[in-house]
Structure 1
Amino acid sequence: MSGGLLVVLLVLPGAAAWAGGSGDGALRMTVTVDGRSDSAERPPAVRVGAQVVKRYLLENLGEAQVYGVRVVDPGVPGGAVRCPRQRLAALGELECVARFRALPGVRLATARARGDVPSLDVLSSATARSGYVGVAGGLTLTERVSVGGGRAAVTYTVANRGNQVLHAVRVEDTALPLGPGAVDCGGRAGTVPLLPPGASVRCTATVLRPPGTHRSTGLATGSDRVPTLDAGGAPVPAPTLTARSSAAFTIPAPPGGAGVGGGSGGSGASGGSVRGGVAGVGGVGGGSGVAGVPGTSGGAGVAGAAGGAGTGAGAAGAGTAGAGTGAGGAPGAPAVPGAPAAVPGGVPQAVPPNAPPSVPRAAPTPVPPTPARTAGSVPAAPSQGVPETVPGIGDRQQQQQQQQQQQQRQRAEAVPDDEGFLGRLRRRAREAHEFGVVAMLLLLLIPAAVAAALLGSRVK
């Protein structure tokens, strides 16, 4: 009897250990998601892109040790669940952890844990369901600009690309000067009350801008009003969602813009015309027509025409000539020697008489005024004709001689009132060499005539 009891006692402990759990019912797993253990019934809301932390608590309810514990969860991207490399003791616990970024949508999955019991050649396993809801607030904004009549019409398109309803979406422009209520969103001033997932609304605005290139910068704001949890299980309020857009546009200048007007009639300046390849500039008329400045070779001034227009002309021997006209001269006034000539732009400038030969300038031909005549005066020799053109390159010495002759002629023409007959003869003899012989004869004949008169009176 005692031997039989001993066999029963030896068998019972072994039987109790096996019966205490080393099979499928000996391993149990509990999963928490961001601190929530009831995620299978009430999955927590997690903002898309935020970190999710899953913790897998493994309990060994058996009396045999479990080796090589591993967890596979389809709800974890890539199945990256880390478990410690240690055995799970009998009646002990072990924790595995998975960390990853939240994805949009409902993410529920069943995880499976496994381990080996080498002493009994048994595979122990357990399952648990868990997950979360990825909250995606996807607000987008695009815009298009059309231009016409100096105005820009901007069309903003706001859309919800998330998985939650957006509330109080507001559309504005931070670059264009739009006043309150300038943006129209379906009859509402720049606000969309509700925007369901996948829906879009168009908003329009019109702005008047000056000609040139401008830029529009749209801004849309809204919220899904969904609070979420962070990795530690703390509540996170719903953020403000923001979307931006930008577009450049150009306002063209209005057609038929005012052009630049020409000079007034009082300026009297005129542009030169090109003939033979070189342009000349005409003179400017003041009180009378003045000599013109030639393009390459100077020309003499010509008397102003009726109506007050002076004309300057210059001609070159190699087919080069310049011509121009000046306005504002007195009717029929003759050209005045030495008057300032016109330059391009209508500003009269005087040409110095001693300018170097390399600088082309006009060679004015003196036109003496009509001398005053008194009783008994001898008429002066007629002046020679003024040539219409002067050679292209003037001679400095010749010009100086002409000026000296002009000054002498002017001094000679000033006749005093008390000058006698002999004085006039001497002056005329000095002025005109044509009367030299006549003066000598008169000087010889006058004394002879006087002597003859005396002799005749004596004889009588």
Structure 2
Amino acid sequence: MRGGLLVGLLVLPCLALPGLPGAWAGGVGDGALRVTVTVNGREHSGPRPPAVRVGAQVVKRYRLVNSGEAHLYGVRVVDPAVPAGAVRCPSRTLAALGELECVARFRAVGGAHRATARVEGDIPSLQRRITATTRTGYTGVAAGLRLTERVTVRGAGGSAGRGLRVAWGSATVAYTVTNHGNRPVHAVRITDPGLGLAPGALDCGAGGGTVAVLTAGSSARCTAVVRRPPGTHRSTGLASGSDRVTTYGPRGERLPAPAITARSSAVFTLPGRGEGVAGPGSPSPSAPAKPRPTTESSGKGGAPGGRGVSGVVGGAGVVGGTGVVGGTGVVGGAGVVGASGAVGASEAVGAPLGVGGAAVAPGAVPAAATARPVPPSPSPPPPPGAIGAARAPAVAGDRSPTGPTDPTAARRAAALDDEGFLGRLRRRGREAHELGIVITLLLLLIPAAIAAALLGNRRG
């Protein structure tokens, strides 16, 4: 009897041990798992989320501590404020009385991002799931400016100084700057390097050339009036400011607020006047050149005459070349037909006094030529580009003071006019050779004549 009672007392505790809670995983409870989170090196990110610049990297570190005496399996971190799959843990098992660090890296987005992070782990032997939670988050600082501009062109008008008026125009450039971030931007200044406008040259309202504070989502307008010469001009607006917010980097470093800028551009054209107003003694910049009046000076013979008549002079259309009309009167020795600035009739070689006294009507003969005929003289070759005078008799209705021109002379003049540079050079060479022969003959005949005269005197 006593032996059976002793066996029962020894067996009953062994049967009851597997049913006792924590018999095989002692020290396990709901507070055995703890978690702490740092965001860019800042703790207590739940009540005080650190500021991170939009686009910068956010680094969240989850420190898991298991103070229980049982291993946790299938450990995972769930954080709604983190992109899916961003959390990385080196192991899915958290040993008893051990620690584990999981890390999440991602880019910050604008706005406040707070959430409750939850850590879970399983104890298979007890069929229990242990959890721990904490509040965490960050604030994404989005700062940005947008600049647009519109140009209104006004009428032309203005002066360039020194007695010359040109068509200057004016244009009104309106700049609109908008804060599309989530923080106020302070001391917004607008300049325009393309038009040479400093901040003081713009009117931004009460603040002069600077917008003191531009709240999130609001806009401000600045204007400037510029004066420029006619033509195409380019405006390059530049807006700059600062949100004055210090943010935190991935390693916990403090980052000062950067300069926030925005740019814009516009191309506009200022029209010019049709014709400028010239001052005394200054030519009009836009008026075309006008021909001189077809008159000649009335000075004495041999004095420089006026500008050549544009068109036909003396009815034969001959001004320049050989200058021979009808073989007697010489009308101009150097002019070109119709060319502005040719020498007038009073400069003609061999022209009688008073020939330049009046304009010669087309188809008429100067009166002085009929009063005092001049014998024909050998004609020099025409200058390059000039119209030879020998073509004058071919014009119908041409008459010289003494009668029609010799056909032989006309053909010879036409041949001379059509010859080229090499032909003219050969002709000059032949003329020089003939002249040399004549001089040689004279040098031989003159001494012979003198000798004959002396001999005759001796005989007498």
Range into which the TM-score falls when normalised by the shorter chain: 0.5 to 0.7
- Are the structure 2 counterparts of residues 179 and 311 from structure 1 closer, same or farther at C-alpha, using a change threshold of 3 Å? farther
CA contact (8 A) 1:360 1:393 kept: no
Offset at 1:162? 0.5
Task: Report matched runs for 1:19-58 at 5 Å.
Answer: 20=26, 22=28, 25-58=31-64
For normalisation by structure 2, the TM-score amounts to: 0.63
Q: Any idea what SS the aligned residue of 1:46 has? A: strand
CA contact (8 A) 1:69 1:116 kept: yes
Whether 2:42 is the aligned partner of 1:68: answer no
Work out the CA distance in 1 between the residues paired with 2:387 and 2:53. Answer: 88
Structure whose residues are more often strand by fraction: 1
CA contact (8 A) 1:21 1:62 kept: yes
Aligned to 1:308: 358
Q: Any idea what SS the aligned residue of 1:78 has? A: coil
Equivalent residue letter for 2:287 = G
2:308 to 260, 264, 269: 269
Task: Report matched runs for 1:139-154 at 5 Å.
Answer: 139-149=145-155, 150-154=169-173
Q: Any idea what SS the aligned residue of 2:233 has? A: strand
Offset at 1:255? 2.8
Instruction: Please list every run of 5 or more consecutive structure 2 residues that lacks an aligned counterpart in the other structure.
Output: 156-168, 277-285, 297-305, 324-328, 339-344, 394-399, 417-460
Whether 2:238 is the aligned partner of 1:219: answer yes
Aligned to 1:377: none
Whether 2:213 is the aligned partner of 1:194: answer yes
Q: Any idea what SS the aligned residue of 1:363 has? A: helix
How many residue pairs align between the two structures?
A: 345
Relative to structure 2, which stretch is displaced further, 220-229 or 303-312? 303-312
Larger radius of gyration: 1
Offset at 1:131? 0.4
Aligned to 1:440: none
Work out the CA distance in 1 between the residues paired with 2:43 and 2:114. Answer: 13
1:224-267 C-alpha deviation (Å, 9 max, x unpaired)? 11111111222211112111111111121123333133244575
Offset at 1:363? 1.2
Aligned to 1:448: none
Whether 2:389 is the aligned partner of 1:362: answer yes
Task: Report matched runs for 1:152-171 at 5 Å.
Answer: 152-171=171-190
Aligned to 1:277: none
Q: Any idea what SS the aligned residue of 2:103 has? A: strand
Whether 2:229 is the aligned partner of 1:210: answer yes
Whether 2:271 is the aligned partner of 1:255: answer no
2:194 to 150, 175, 190: 175
Work out the CA distance in 1 between the residues paired with 2:22 and 2:85. Answer: 37
Question: How much is the aligned-residue C-alpha RMSD, in angstroms?
Answer: 4.4
Offset at 1:394? 3.6
Percent same amino acid among aligned pairs? 54
- Are the structure 2 counterparts of residues 365 and 249 from structure 1 closer, same or farther at C-alpha, using a change threshold of 3 Å? closer
1:299-342 C-alpha deviation (Å, 9 max, x unpaired)? xx9999996324577xxxxxxxxxxx9xxx9x844399899xxx
Instruction: Please list every run of 5 or more consecutive structure 1 residues that lacks an aligned counterpart in the other structure.
Output: 274-279, 296-300, 314-324, 340-349, 367-382, 401-460
CA contact (8 A) 2:80 2:115 kept: yes
- Are the structure 2 counterparts of residues 288 and 32 from structure 1 closer, same or farther at C-alpha, using a change threshold of 3 Å? same
Relative to structure 2, which stretch is displaced further, 171-180 or 27-36? 171-180
Work out the CA distance in 2 between the residues paired with 1:137 and 1:214. Answer: 31
Offset at 1:31? 1.5
- Are the structure 2 counterparts of residues 61 and 12 from structure 1 closer, same or farther at C-alpha, using a change threshold of 3 Å? farther
Aligned to 2:94: 88
Offset at 1:34? 1.2
Work out the CA distance in 2 between the residues paired with 1:392 and 1:209. Answer: 69
Work out the CA distance in 2 between the residues paired with 1:46 and 1:192. Answer: 26
Whether 2:119 is the aligned partner of 1:113: answer yes
CA contact (8 A) 1:289 1:333 kept: no
Whether 2:270 is the aligned partner of 1:235: answer no
Q: Any idea what SS the aligned residue of 1:309 has? A: coil
Work out the CA distance in 2 between the residues paired with 1:101 and 1:80. Answer: 10
- Are the structure 2 counterparts of residues 21 and 306 from structure 1 closer, same or farther at C-alpha, using a change threshold of 3 Å? same
Work out the CA distance in 2 between the residues paired with 1:351 and 1:190. Answer: 81
